[in-house]
Amino acid sequence: MDHETVEKLRLAIEAEFGRNAPPDGFPNLPRIPAARYMDEDFFELERARVFDRSWLYVGTRWDFPETGSFKVFDNMGRAQVLLVRGKDHQIRAFYNTCCHRGATVIRDECGTAKGGRFSCQFHAWTYDLEGRLVGIPDKRDFSNDPSLEDTGLHPIRCEEWCGFIFVNLSDDAPDLKTWLGPVAEDFAWVDGLRPSHRRERLLACNWRVCIEAFIEVYHIATVHPETVGQGLNHFGTVSNFYPHGHSRMIVPNPDWHDPDKVFPENNGHDPAFGFRGEASVSYNLFPNVLVPAGQTGFTLMEFWPVDATHTRLVTSCVEPDTIPDEDRKARQDFFDTIMDEDTWNMEHIQHSYQAPHFEGPKIGVHEKRIYYVEESIDRMIGQENLSPEMQVELLLDKYIVDTPQAV
């Protein structure tokens, strides 16, 4: 984010403060059908056509400190994924499914492959770190099958961006950097940061009931009066839509209009660092990751669908190692309090959506990122695969920008 972009963002924030109605021409967004948040068939389409074709965050380079370091990932609603660092230092991903009789190869959650080999816990077929099948006990019983000469664990696309590891189950998806688009450029300052303070919550609500509560700050005065409500001024919120469903939200601090406030110029840092002292900058990495950032770090929120009405919410705090321990602890406690405030509401929302008269959520201008998530899901599913009553009208195309400099 360069100086010019920061200036444009400041003007855009001012314009938001000065607005008394939706921006000229902005569409009146129709209600999102409530059934999309509970219908089993819709959920299966999301899984097959959105999650199975998107780049999904699965860990960081810190999970793989040495050759042979591995991690099993089990949040995708599909067979487990085995990630491992090879001799060439590259991290690769495979289904954790043996090519003999399909057993789970590795049962540990993480560790280091002994001797650079994985041995299936059922009959000890053996794989190297590149997933090649390199050993079959009693091979004489299989020597009539030439296909076993050139096989192994089934590979999955796996790429690293700034130390964050993503996988994609589809061969047709663009590469990770293209997928992330403007986010990759705007958010690259996080390279080298390490997540900690991991927490996992299982919530009885649809994954979008959950994530959509975090991509607007309209609720901060009611849900977070003593926490976030004190730290942000939602009237100045600026949101941008990026290709592939990603989005950015910028929310100024409450002292934005303080006449004594002097915007910190670079102070030896880049303009984006200074700007993150004036406003919260948050991204939705479509489909299921949110990263609200502060000046030196961010919180990492993963929303994993379990079924149509259950979500595994995984959160971490990502900070530089140089943060003093007491500051780190204070931030983690603050974050935990905010999460308790937000999650307290969600299962009740899911339950309430079942009221027969309720057509679905109404989305205002401030909450437009929610509608963009829904549109992006329909684009990936393909509206020809949805009945008319399950679709959302595609209205936000013309607001999508493809650089972080466009505000």
Query: Where on the chain is the footprint of ligand FES (CB under 6 A)?
Result: 98, 100-101, 103, 120, 122-125
Q: Which listed option, ligand FES, Fe ion, none, makes contact with residue 344 (CB within 5 to 8 Å by class)?
A: none
State the nearest-atom distance from the C-beta of 300 to Fe ion, in Å.
Answer: 16
CB neighbour list of residue 226: distance below 8 Å, 6 or more residues apart: none
Rank residues 16 and 342 by Cβ distance to Fe ion and give the closer one: 342
Shortest Cβ 135–ligand FES spacing (Å): 10
Tokens of 248: 């950015």
Q: Which of 216, 342, 367, 375 binds Fe ion (CB under 5 A)?
A: 342
Type of residue found at 35: A
Query: CB of 245: closest distance to Fe ion in angstroms?
Result: 21
Structure tokens, 184: 């990759």
* Dihedral sign computed on CA atoms, order 268, 280, 61, 404: negative
Q: Which does 107 bind (CB under 5 to 8 A by kind): ligand FES, Fe ion, none?
A: none
Closer residue to Fe ion, CB minimum distance, 302 or 342:
342
Q: Which is nearer to Fe ion, 184 or 213 (CB)?
A: 213
Q: How far does CA 142 lie from the centroid of its chain?
A: 44
Please identify, using beta-carbon distances, which residue of 26 and 122 lies nearer to ligand FES.
122
Cβ distance to Fe ion smaller for residue 156 or 338:
338
The option from Fe ion, ligand FES, none interacting with 123 (CB < 5 to 8 A, set by class) reads ligand FES
Residues touching Fe ion: how many (CB under 5 A)?
1
- List the interface residues with Fe ion, window 245-284 (CB under 5 A): none
Measure the CA–CA gap between 201 and 343, rounded to whole angstroms: 9
For 199, the enclosing helix (H) or strand (E) is strand 194-203
Residue 330 contact among Fe ion, ligand FES, none, beta carbon within 5 to 8 Å by kind: none
Nearer Cβ to Fe ion (27/231)? 231
Distance CA 178, CA 186 (A): 13
Closest separation between CB of residue 23 and ligand FES, Å?
59
Round to whole Å and give the CA distance between 359 and 349.
14
Helix/strand/coil (H/E/C) assignment for every residue in 101-169: CCCECCCCCEEECHHHEEECCCCCCEEECCCEEEECCCHHHHCCCHHHHHCECCEEEEEEECCEEEEEC
Rounded Cα distance between 53 and 46, Å, is 10
Q: Which does 342 bind (CB under 5 to 8 A by kind): Fe ion, ligand FES, none?
A: Fe ion
Interface residues toward Fe ion, by CB under 5 A: 342
